Structure 1
Amino acid sequence: MNHAMHPLVTWEHRLYPGDLAHARAVRSDLSADLAGFDPDLVDTVQLCVSELFANCVKYTDSGRPGADVLRALSLPGPRTLRVGLSDWGGSGALPCIPADRTDDEWDWAEGQRGLALVENLSTGWGHRRLAPWADLGTHVWAEFALDPAGVPALPPFVFTCP
């Protein structure tokens, strides 16, 4: 079977200090990088990335040099947008959605809703440790469906690999 290869499109990675004070810059940069995409998609991606960034900050040692968050953005195919965040200097803890809560406990819970939000707004999400042999941090990603006709012309700083 002959499968047509689609280029992998990647935006330049962005690095942020592991501090919630930089959440606005994360959202602003994402909005600039996704200029021309469907505004509803951009809003959804910004919301999910805000949650993932907050999780990264929570699990990094923000007082330690090098405790940064790396944001990656790509089009791994014509119908998919993927955003990933890596908490360099994090604990290596793997994210999970709590499953052992009753409905009442969920109703009253103040935390740990971010991953449930990401799960419901994205077409898929996942995670991996940056290095299985050491606590170097965690990479978390989420994917979003695209209409290929709605993908704008990409700026020259976006890299395409045939």
Structure 2
Amino acid sequence: MAVAAVEPVTAEIKLANEAGAARLVRQFVAQKLGSVPFGAPDIVDVVQLLASELVTNVVRHTDTNVMTVSLSLDANTLRLAVQDDSRERPMCRAAKAHDEGGRGLPLIKRLSCDWGVEDIADGGKTVWTLLEVG
């Protein structure tokens, strides 16, 4: 995907660990990236999907109170990261046809050029994903 000359974007939002967090993170992504002149118009949709999946994982699988979502964009790469206070690492699993969950991390693996998990020294973790945009 190609990007026209882009000013770097760095943005962060703190979200409560509650059901509405996925909707709020999609709005945040649209607000921060919606005016960026990407060569591929669907990149904002992809970032919204990835952000929603990462935030939903925090809501479903942790008891942390607050999570921090950050976006960092330069001319070539967009980094999306979600930090929470849980040390429990996300697990990829193969979802069966009727499973309600289990598709988030495989989707992130498929749509990202790279992703991973970093432990935070004083507790918690950051799950991040990279997309090539230039």
TM-score (norm 2): 0.82
Structure 2 match to 1:138 = 125
The aligned counterpart of 1:57 is 59
C-alpha displacement of 1:137? 1.9
Matches of 2:51 and 2:25, distance apart in 1: 8
- Alpha-carbon distance between aligned partners in 2 of 1:10 and 1:68, rounded to the nearest angstrom: 23
Structure 1 gaps of 5+ residues are: 1-8, 148-162
The 8 Å contact of residues 118 and 125 in structure 2, kept in 1 or not, is answered as yes
Cα deviation for residue 29 of structure 1 reads: 1.0
Structure 2 letter corresponding to 1:119: K
Residue pair 2:72, 2:78 contacting (<8 A) in 1 also: yes
Q: Cα distance, 1:35 vs. partner? A: 2.0
Query: What CA deviation, in whole Å up to 9, does each residue of 1:60-100 have, x standing for no partner?
Result: 325xxxx101011113x53110010001x32x1111212xx
Counterpart code for 1:25: L
* Local SS of the residue matching 1:95: coil
- Alignment map for 1:1-162 (pairs within 5 Å): 9-37=8-36, 38=38, 39-61=41-63, 67-75=65-73, 77-87=74-84, 89-90=85-86, 92-98=87-93, 106-131=96-121, 136-147=123-134
Which deviations, in whole Å up to 9, do the C-alpha atoms of 1:132-152 show, x marking residues without a partner? xx6x322100111112xxxxx
Distance in 2, Cα, partners of 1:57 & 1:44? 20
Q: Runs of 4 or more off by more than 4 Å in structure 1?
A: none
RMSD, aligned α-carbons: 2.1
Distance 2:99 2:131 in 1: 27
Instruction: Structure 2 unaligned segments of length 5 or more: list them.
Output: 1-7
Number of equivalences: 125
Contact 1:57 1:69 in 2 (8 A): no
SS of the counterpart of 1:139?
A: strand
- Asked whether the equivalents of residues 14 and 71 of structure 1 are also in contact (C-alpha less than 8 Å), the reply is yes
Larger-Rg structure: 1
Q: 1:36 offset after TM fit, Å?
A: 2.4
